Amino acid sequence: MNPKDKNRISRFTPVQRIFHVGLILSFLTQSSTGLSRLYIETPWGKKMAWIFGGYESCLTIHKYTGIFMLCWFVAHLIHLALKIDWRKFPWSLFGPDSLLPRLEDLGQAIQHTVWILGIDRLIRSDRWGCFKRLDGLLMKITRLPPLNRVNYFKEIDGLLPEIIKPPNFDRWGYWEKFDYWGVFWGIPVLGITGLLLAYPLISTRIIPGWGLNVALWIHRIEAILAMGHVFIIHFFIGHLRPHSFPMDRAMFEGSVDLDATRHERPAWVARLEETGRIESFLVPQASVRRRVIFYIFGYTAITIGFFLLIGGLVNSTSITW
């Protein structure tokens, strides 16, 4: 094969992609059956419940898919245990390849927000002449000769604090880590409250019955948080923002475009090039047929998500909470 064809950089292993596909399928099933039951008073909820065979049948599907998700989560934990470099434990957990949050992530999030708001450009262009005026004021006070105008912006560049520079992302952006830990916390919370609610005769032997009132509300709010986050924020970042539009195939194909990654995650590519491992990360693009499947799958998920999101929002005032 022509090495020039290898224009993509590998980002996810097949096992990770299988985990994600299983998560998509079970999450959408849980969302639709759960919302069918929550919205059963409305025509929208009734129609959706009809797809799954009615109110009772929704619950059956919801319970067993929930148990599947918990098994999936346990399988993921086993996967993690096998992947961790135990010889260098616990230091191996804190590298840039790890999904554990680091202090840099907070800094990068702030840098990114500053970049999003265009503050660095405002300062560079000196839009309102603040720097010029400040300079003049300083000249008046100190009676020093003016700064070298030619090198003015270069000097400012050096003087700019770290916060105003664009973020130098490594392998995982802070938003990706947030997504990962959101699921990592969400599945146990939803799973435990869900199990308590699914088997009340057994669970009330352990907790008092009024604990189910509490569990129900925790289950509800966490589910709404998860759906809102996935259907709005995760889908927007993965599909709809101009950088990813029409779809970031990374989680399905396993690789991303090298040039785009060099632009978006410069620290990661630089790190790979420095250690000379970049060659082993380069892969060719997937076949057209597979790409078509990825797009169909991705857009089906998005359609279902938006359907649930819009239906849920529109009907939210006409149900008994």
- Smallest CA-to-CA distance from 175 within 233, 224, 227 is with 233
Q: Which of 73-81, 136-144, 294-302, 306-314 is the region at the interface with other proteins (rule: CB under 8 A)?
A: 73-81
Q: Look-up: residue for tokens 């998509």?
A: 24
Rounded to whole angstroms, how far apart are CA atoms 146 and 139?
7
Contact residue for other proteins among 51, 78, 130, 139 (CB under 8 A): 78
Is residue 89 within the footprint of other proteins (CB under 8 A)?
Answer: no
Q: Which amino acid is at 56?
A: E
Contact residue for other proteins among 87, 140, 205, 289 (CB under 8 A): 205
Q: Which is nearer to other proteins, 135 or 176 (CB)?
A: 176
Q: Which is nearer to other proteins, 20 or 112 (CB)?
A: 112
Cβ-Cβ contacts under 8 Å for 188 (sequence gap 6 or more): 73
Q: Which is nearer to other proteins, 118 or 136 (CB)?
A: 118
Binding map of other proteins across residues 170-189, x = CB under 8 A, - = no contact: -----x--x---x-------
Q: In degrees to the nearest 10, what's the CA dihedral of 39, 44, 46, 50?
A: -120
Q: Which is nearer to other proteins, 43 or 136 (CB)?
A: 43
CA angle 281, 287, 290 (to 5 degrees): 105
What are the start-end ranges of the H helices in the chain? 14-38, 43-51, 55-83, 103-117, 119-125, 130-142, 152-159, 174-198, 200-206, 211-228, 235, 250-253, 258-264, 266-275, 278-281, 288-315
Contacting other proteins within 206-245 (CB under 8 A): 207-210, 212-214, 217-218, 221-222, 224-225, 228-229, 232-233, 236-237, 240-243
- To other proteins, the closest distance from the beta carbon of 149 in angstroms equals 23
Q: Which is nearer to other proteins, 156 or 240 (CB)?
A: 240
Count the site residues for other proteins by CB under 8 A.
55
CA angle 176, 181, 187 (to 5 degrees): 130
Answer for the pair 186, 227: CB distance below 8 angstroms, yes or no.
no
3-state secondary structure of 138: helix
Is residue 258 within the footprint of other proteins (CB under 8 A)?
Answer: no
Is residue 302 within the footprint of other proteins (CB under 8 A)?
Answer: no
Residues lying near other proteins in the complex (CB under 8 A) are found at 15, 37, 40-41, 55, 64, 67-68, 71-72, 74-75, 78-79, 82, 112-113, 115-118, 166, 175, 178, 182, 199-202, 204-205, 207-210, 212-214, 217-218, 221-222, 224-225, 228-229, 232-233, 236-237, 240-243, 320
